[in-house]
Amino acid sequence: MTGDHRPKPAAFLLVPVAFAFILALFAWPNAEGGPRDLPVGVAGQPAQTRTIEQGLAARGEAFDIHRYVDEAAARAAIEDRDIYGAFVATPGGAKVLTALAASAPSRRSSATPPTRATPRSRTSPPPTRARAPSPPPCSPC
C-alpha cells in the first residue's frame, strides 16, 4: 500500500497566480489616483491670482476653479460648503484657506441644502438617555 500523495506542479502555480490576480484587482483603482474636479477657490485681484490659476489649471481636470473677489467671499463659500478650500492672493504671497472636518456636498446628491443644528442654550441640561435597570448585585456563594 504505497500511495503517491505528491501535489501536482499546477497546484503550486495556481496559488501565486490567484494571489497576484486578487492583488491586481485591489491595486487597479489606485493606479489613476488623484483629485478630479475638486472645487477650490481663488480670491484676489485678477493680476495677483493669475499665477495661482495657471498653476491649478496646469494639473488638468484635477481642480474646478471658482473665482472670488476677496477673502471674505472665499470664506463664505467654504462655510457654505461650495468649495473645499481657497487660495487668497495677498501682496505678501498666497494664503491657503481650508474647510474644517466636513466635506462639500456632492453635486450628484439631492438638491436640498444642508441643515444646520440648532444651538442649545448653555443653561439647559444635556439630553439624557433612558437606561435599563441594572441587575441586582451578586451575593457570594
Q: HEC states along the chain?
A: CCCCCCCCHHHHHHHHHHHHHHHHHHHHHHCCCCCCCEEEEEECCHHHHHHHHHHHHCCHHHEEEEEECCHHHHHHHHHCCCCCEEEEEECCEEEEEECCCCCCCCCCCCCCCCCCCCCCCCCCCCCCCCCCCCCCCCCCC
What does the pLDDT look like over 94-133, one tens digit per residue? Answer: 899 988 875 555 444 334 444 443 344 444 455 555 555 6
Greater confidence (57 vs 137) lies with: 57
* 6-57 residue pLDDT tens: 767 777 788 889 999 999 888 887 777 777 889 999 999 888 899 999 999 8
Residue range 61-90: average pLDDT? 93
Residue 95 confidence (pLDDT): 92
Q: What is the pLDDT of residue 2?
A: 60
**Distance separating alpha carbons of residues 85 and 87, to the nearest angstrom:** 7
All three cell numbers of 12, joined, read 503550486
